[in-house]
Every structure is written in structure tokens, then in C-alpha cells.
Amino acid sequence: MLQMEKMQTIVEELGLSYELVNYPEYMDVRLCFEENSHGGKALMDFFCQADSNLLSREQREEILYLLASKVTQQDGRKLVPIPAATMMIPKQIINDKYYT
């Protein structure tokens, strides 16, 4: 996935103007901390981009420790912030090239 910082670099190198809007986004990771949770396993698979059953106990504990260090508790949920932004690039003509 293209990181926003990389996208900004590309757009700036092209000399295009843009507007960047950052906004809060959170993921509830509560199920990751529940043993034998199918939803928790699916989240761990997503975080690992692989079958989380292949993780060693130490690796699993390290991931849970990292998640726990980022958690904000709200209404019984364990929320982890996810960087999110929208980049708006208006139609522009730069060096006789039309960008849309």
C-alpha cells in the first residue's frame, strides 16, 4: 500500500498543488486479546499478512504487547489509531502537461 508520505513526495516532485486532510480512524482490537476468538484470529492474520497460527508464542505476545501499548479504551472497546488521510489534487496544467 502506498504510504501518504510517499504520495506527497510524488505529487510534490510533479509540482502539483494538493490539499491533505488527516482524520482520526480507529480499529477495535479487543478480539485479539480474547483466547479462541475467530474474529481475533482473523485480525491477527490481517496484521501478520499470514496465518497467525504459524507465530511462535513469543511473536504473538510481542504483537499483543505492541497493540496494548497503543490502545485507548472506550465503551468496552480497545481502539488502536490508524493513520488516515485524504489527498485532493485539483486538475492542473504544469509545464504544458494537463494533470487530472
CA 10 to chain centre: 20
Residue 98 has pLDDT above 60, yes or no: yes
Q: What is the DSSP annotation of 12-37?
A: HHTT---EEEEE--EEE-GGGGSTT-
pTM score, whole prediction? 0.66
What's the mean pLDDT in 21-37?
A: 92
Residue 2 has pLDDT above 80, yes or no: no
Residue 99 has pLDDT above 90, yes or no: no
Residue-level pLDDT at 100: 60
Q: What are the b/e assignments for 51-89, b being 16+ CB within 10 Å?
A: ebeebeeeeeeebeeebeeebeeeeeebbbeeeeeeeee
Residue 46 has pLDDT above 70, yes or no: yes
List, for residues 31-43, the tens digit of each pLDDT value. Answer: 999 989 999 999 9
Residue corresponding to grid cell 504487547: 65
